[in-house]
Chain A
Amino acid sequence: MQRKFLTLLATTAIVGVAGTAVAKDIPVGNLIDFTGNTAVVGKVYGQAKIDAMNYVNANGGVNGKLLDFETVDYSYVVPRAIATYKKWKGKVVAIQGWGTGDTEALISFVAKDKIPYFSASYSGHLVDPMGKGPKTKKAAPYNFIMGPSYSDGARALVQWAAEDWKKKGGKGKPKYIHMGDNHPYPNAPKEAAQEYAKELGFDVLNAIQYSLAPGDFKAQCLSLKESGANYAFLANTSGSNISLLKSCDTVGVDVQFMANIWGYDENVMKAAGKAADGVVWVMGAAKWGDGVPGMKTVEAVSKMSDPSGNTYRAVHYMRGVCSVFYMKEAMEWADKNGGITGPNIKKGFYKQANWTPKGLEGVCPAATWTPDDHRGFNKVFIYQGHVKGDTAAGSVGELMGNGTIGMSKVGESVIPRKPEWLGW
């Protein structure tokens, strides 16, 4: 009896060891937020990264080598992200990150340890690899942002607002106002956009603060109403913006809201209903179901976690997929040119101009990274959300399908890579 038990034990041990010994070659850290203040968009983007890495592994890996990724939910708490990083240091060759606070805090760490860091934070502070920009606080040689920088996005919105004001025949100086929490993420584009708004002839009002954690923002909406602003830039993420839009609808504010890239999506339209109608926001990639060649790949990626293929993926999902695919192709180059190490992956990013990963044509816009400018994406799409009826009935996918909610492209601008805007 005892012998039988021992054999059983030994077999389990062997199976267990064999199970973990499957060739997984490229250690990658994956930082996500499923439970923190930015969870509403974090779940979409985090799932995209997980699905995409599983898809890469299921489809030949990186030249046959598999991504061995560890996913950690850090709840958007910076110290937890740093502690996770310290655990990963020396093991991983690249990190798929998330928030602005943690990514900016890690700039010097990843530079010292030579670990390429692909953040979902597109903070303008992360794009200057050499520290040449006049307003750069810190050179960020190993940071790669996977979308247009927040500052460039906000500049595009300001441009759009200036044109919109002219089109509507507005008289006098239009009033621009920044709204957001006192937190690295909403703060990132604040000054750049305010400066640019001044340049384009806006009257820039004092910023209004509302928290990243959703709450009752009627007081802020009353201040907004009193300020007489025409264009309000919402710098928080969508969870918080849902509350703000609802509160402002109750108060009755007549302002054109403009949201940052993480500040608006299909889920906001569903949750805020009519209050979310007409908001314009920044987009960095195609949307789910667009008739572009690369959408087939995205659909296959989505099936990694949803074999039925029925789940609707909000706009952030595509950017998550793009982030992983750019990393994968840079790794493939590194593999052929001296091995998959941090510095080689970094070099891999400079090998192509107007670069779209294979299979994602039309999904990710063409990007160009150079050793002294990490503003990979400089094309910004501006979309407007439309809410036509009651959003309570049906899922986001159904609502998009029957036209209750929808979105349309209202602008597109290429933000020049001005040297004075580098790192800001």
Chain B
Amino acid sequence: MAGHDSMRCGEFRTTYRADTTIFPTPWSRNFAILGVAVAATCPLFLEPYYLNLMIQIAYLGIAALGLNILVGFTGQISLGHSAFFGFGAFASAWLNNVWGIPVFFAIPLAGLWTTAVGMIVGIPAGRIKGLYLAIATLASQFILQDFFARAEWFTGGASGALAEPFSIFGYTFDTDKSFFYVALTYLIVAYVAGANLIRSRDGRAFVAVRDHYLSAEIMGVNLTKYRILSFGVSSFYAGVGGALFGHYLGFVSVEGFDILLSIQFLGMIIIGGLGSVMGALMGTAFMVLLPEVMEGLVSLMGSTDWGSAKWFVDGVPYMKEAAIGLAIVLFLIFEPDGLAHRWRLIKAYWKLYPFSY
């Protein structure tokens, strides 16, 4: 989002530079820094269970941001994002296992490899749009998934591949506590880079392609280049997210990267807010936490009389799945701009309390 929707009274921006800052006020910047500092202290007092959820949010959030750049900012569509996520995971494990490249370097390298694959898959985007592009990316999802299951030399075939834990200078990040910092670092770098990309010339070109491709072309934006570039950037994020996932879990298997995960990625950015950097993270957090919160609610109800009834206990897995579907539908109806928009409204409400103008 270039520029800010609402300007406060007495605020004047006299340069484009001031209009496109990431943080509109010094306080918002301080809060962001404070937020990171608080997050960094989490491993000191949080249980591994919560750290695990936060790590999940981090690596999925990185991949979701990639998809948001493609879908939210460039207006393309991809139903194959999880295949890129998986490719990154396999590529990083392979580079490390077979070529002995340290995990530290294997992760960004895997990202670059995934970029290359993503750009190849994105080539049809230069010619086709909308539903047709959706089906083209769906094809890539299936082709890559089948490749994962068969390419024994690369992925270990159906048995999957082991992935070594992340390590630098002989220190191994193999616990939730230590890997949290790896994930947090990657998350911050990815999101700062993402926010800056959108402020750049290329980022504006993405948005122009989305808003009106004809006008964009007339203004000199090379549509084919930017569409394919967008696929590349999006795949890079997916690849890095996937590589982090692989080295965190310690094992990569073809099963995790099915069409369902691709659709969940789409759900994350729709719930979080299409075309919003922070929205991608909010949506990911929502999608990761929703099943856990449901689980918690269910076990609370399980302690009541009717909650331990057989029909209820048996129905719980379905209710959990249904809740995710329901959440997406409700968001589409009541909050089409996603959590990011809702967050802005909440901020505005408190800023202007009690007299909104």
Interface residue? A222 (CB, 8 A): no
Asked whether A182 lies within 8 Å of B150 as measured between CB atoms, the reply is yes
Bound: A318/B160 CA distance, A: 31
Bound: A124/B52 CA distance, A: 33
Asked whether B251 lies within 8 Å of A105 as measured between CB atoms, the reply is yes
Asked whether A104 lies within 8 Å of B255 as measured between CB atoms, the reply is no
Asked whether A87 lies within 8 Å of B159 as measured between CB atoms, the reply is no
Bound: A87/B255 CA distance, A: 20
Interface residue? A183 (CB, 8 A): yes
- CB neighbors of A among B23-50 (8 A): 48-49
Q: How many A-B residue pairs have CB under 8 A?
A: 49
Interface residue? B158 (CB, 8 A): yes
* Interface membership of chain B positions 55-79, coded 1 if the CB is closer than 8 angstroms to chain A and 0 otherwise: 0000000000000000000000000
Bound: A104/B250 CA distance, A: 13
Asked whether A101 lies within 8 Å of B160 as measured between CB atoms, the reply is yes
Partner of A78, one of B49, B150, B162, B251: B251
**Complex interface: chain A residues within 8 A of B253 (CB):** 78-79, 101, 105
Bound: A104/B48 CA distance, A: 25
- CB neighbors of A among B138-196 (8 A): 149-150, 157-160, 162, 176
Interface residue? B128 (CB, 8 A): no
Asked whether B249 lies within 8 Å of A187 as measured between CB atoms, the reply is no
In the complex where A78-B255, A79-B253 touch, is A105 in contact with B158 (Cβ < 8 A)?
A: no
Asked whether A83 lies within 8 Å of B256 as measured between CB atoms, the reply is no
Q: How far is the CB of A215 from chain B (nearest CB, A)?
A: 16
Interface residue? B317 (CB, 8 A): yes
* Interface membership of chain B positions 243-274, coded 1 if the CB is closer than 8 angstroms to chain A and 0 otherwise: 00000011101011000000000000000000
**Complex interface: chain A residues within 8 A of B176 (CB):** 86
**Complex interface: chain B residues within 8 A of A82 (CB):** 249-251
- CB neighbors of A among B296-317 (8 A): 317
Asked whether B249 lies within 8 Å of A101 as measured between CB atoms, the reply is no
Asked whether B317 lies within 8 Å of A83 as measured between CB atoms, the reply is no
**Complex interface: chain A residues within 8 A of B250 (CB):** 82, 86, 109
Specify the main secondary structure of chain A where it touches its partner.
Answer: helix
Interface residue? A13 (CB, 8 A): no
* Interface membership of chain A positions 66-84, coded 1 if the CB is closer than 8 angstroms to chain B and 0 otherwise: 0000000100011100110
Bound: A167/B250 CA distance, A: 51
Bound: A86/B251 CA distance, A: 11
Asked whether A182 lies within 8 Å of B149 as measured between CB atoms, the reply is yes
- CB neighbors of B among A52-109 (8 A): 73, 77-79, 82-83, 86-87, 101, 104-105, 108-109
In the complex where A105-B159, A109-B250 touch, is A79 in contact with B48 (Cβ < 8 A)?
A: no
In the complex where A182-B149, A182-B150 touch, is A77 in contact with B158 (Cβ < 8 A)?
A: no
Bound: A82/B150 CA distance, A: 22
Bound: A87/B253 CA distance, A: 19
**Complex interface: chain B residues within 8 A of A109 (CB):** 250
**Complex interface: chain B residues within 8 A of A108 (CB):** 162
**Complex interface: chain A residues within 8 A of B157 (CB):** 182
Q: How far is the CB of A151 from chain B (nearest CB, A)?
A: 15
In the complex where A78-B253, A82-B251, A87-B48 touch, is A105 in contact with B149 (Cβ < 8 A)?
A: no
Bound: A164/B249 CA distance, A: 48
Q: How far is the CB of B162 from chain A (nearest CB, A)?
A: 7
In the complex where A77-B256, A78-B255 touch, is A83 in contact with B159 (Cβ < 8 A)?
A: no
Bound: A400/B197 CA distance, A: 69
Bound: A183/B159 CA distance, A: 7
A sample of 17 more A-B contacts (CB under 8 A), given A77-B255, A109-B250, is A35-B317, A77-B256, A78-B160, A78-B253, A78-B255, A79-B249, A79-B251, A79-B255, A87-B48, A101-B253, A104-B159, A182-B149, A182-B150, A182-B158, A184-B158, A184-B159, A187-B159
Binding site for B on A (CB under 8 A): 35, 73, 77-79, 82-83, 86-87, 101, 104-105, 108-109, 182-184, 187
**A-B complex: 5 closest residue pairs judged by Cβ atoms:** A78-B253, A79-B256, A105-B251, A184-B159, A183-B158
